[in-house]
Amino acid sequence: MLKRMLYTSLVLSSLILAANCSKSKSNTGGGGTTDTTTTPVVLSDKILSSGLTMPWDLVWAPDNTIWFTQKSGIISKVDPANGSVSNLLTISDVVVRGEGGLLGMAFHPSFASNPYLYVVYDYLKGSAYREKVVRYTVSGNSLSSPTIIFDNIIADNNHNGSRLVIVGDKLFVSTGDAVETSYPQDPNSVNGKILRINLDGSIPSDNPVSGNPYWSFGHRNPQGLVYANGILYSSEHGPNNDDEINIIEKGRNYGWPTVMGFCDNSSETAFCSSNNVKEPIKAWTPTIATCGLDYYNNAKIPQWKNSLLLATLKNSRLYQLKLNATFNAVTETNEFYNGKFGRLRDVLVAPTGKVYLCTSNGSDDKIIEISAP
């Protein structure tokens, strides 16, 4: 009880102070713990950079800067030491429609020998709005030799998914249903899926279905993706109910559009039992607009160890989702920065133990740094 009181007091203190004042999203984690005996630290936050327009994805780069996408088609980097921003490339064929534009990105995990950056964005293929994954070769601040890795994902004004995570030599791509509810349950559609492809765009032989790029299906709009502790976690937007945190498993069905959240009514239960549906580990009704997701396991902020960190749009706050010792259940939920910065699109855990957020307010968007003494 004393520990709980101490934790609450310190969190409240951090919020009062705040009021006054490699990521490819792949994190091998390891060493996760549910130990609650470590004394929490008071958090501080500051605006690192401002004047941005709809940043979408934050990635810790091999040069120890933060690279990020802006939806209009700009790839930029920010120096975490002083907040200075440099624009690196404007992708000319990016087309913004509603939620669509330049979205996720990821560096090759063996960057020294394979200096590649993967991005996913929406564009016009003739008159059709489509989405593709493109690989760039990186040399210093220069990006060249764009190579299409995967194409012909149907895009729409809404529900485009588009997080990228590289695990070993495999690229995971989250795709939305593009506002067509028949796609997620259709194995012949690449929409409403978590795709798994080789880094050259070919389809792995050990995917659930031979010659098919999907790894899991039955998704509505998954906009958060992180690999930690040997587990692939995803955050997914529900309709007016049941935003979700999921553990993504090979070949599993995640239920949309028949199942929303848990299998907790008669029609859902029947569908779940006959369709190998995997239930979420956390769901929210009313929805909070779950977005960027990362995993924290650094001693710098001990109270956040072994936690998923979740950025939210509608609820405009950062969620800490404490995991159990086997990393497959949420044991505690805490909320931070409620409305302080507006809509939060993404969260990045840096190797330094600092955490970075980007806003999605449409003008004068910001990158925020969260740190501890």
Helix (H) or strand (E) holding 268: helix 266-274
The residue behind tokens 């599993």 is 252
What is the biggest distance separating any 2 CA atoms in the chain, rounded to whole angstroms? 64
pLDDT of residue 34: 44
Domains in the chain: boundaries? 22-371
Note the pLDDT of residue 212: 98
Instruction: Render pLDDT for 336-371 as a digit per residue (tens, 0 to 9).
Output: 999 999 999 999 999 999 999 999 999 999 999 999
The letter for the amino acid at 141 is: N
Between CA 277 and CA 281, with CA 280 as vertex, the angle to 5 degrees is 140
Higher pLDDT, residue 286 or 24: 286
| pLDDT value for 47 | 98
Percent of the chain at pLDDT > 70 equals 90
Given phi > 0 = left and psi -120 to 50 = alpha, else beta, which region is 211? left
So what's the pLDDT on residue 26? 64
What are 61-73's pLDDT values in tens digits? 999 999 999 999 9
127 CB-contact burial (10 Å; exposed 0-12 / middle 13-18 / buried 19+): exposed
pLDDT value for 27: 61
- pLDDT tens figures, 120-164: 999 999 999 999 999 999 999 999 999 999 999 999 999 999 999
What does the pLDDT read at residue 148? 98
Average pLDDT over residues 7-14: 40
* CA 12 – CA 16 distance, rounded (Å): 6
CA angle, 304 then 310 then 316, to 5°: 115
- Please tell me what DSSP assigns to residue 114: S
For 184-238, the pLDDT digits (tens) are: 999 999 999 999 999 999 999 999 999 999 999 999 999 999 999 999 999 999 9
pTM of the model: 0.91
Q: How many CB atoms lie within 10 A of CB 200?
A: 11
pLDDT at 238: 98
Percent of the chain with pLDDT over 90: 89
Residue pair 290/310 in contact (Cβ under 8 Å)? The answer is yes
- pLDDT-based confidence at residue 28 (cuts at 50, 70, 90): very low
> In this predicted structure, what is the pLDDT of residue 38?
74
How far apart, in whole angstroms, are the C-alpha atoms of residue 337 and residue 53?
21
In the prediction, which pLDDT does 25 show?
65
Provide the CATH topology of domain 22-371. Answer: Neuraminidase (2.120.10)
Residue 331: strand pairing partners:
none
**Average confidence score pLDDT of the chain:** 92
pLDDT band at 373 (very low <50, low <70, confident <90, very high): confident
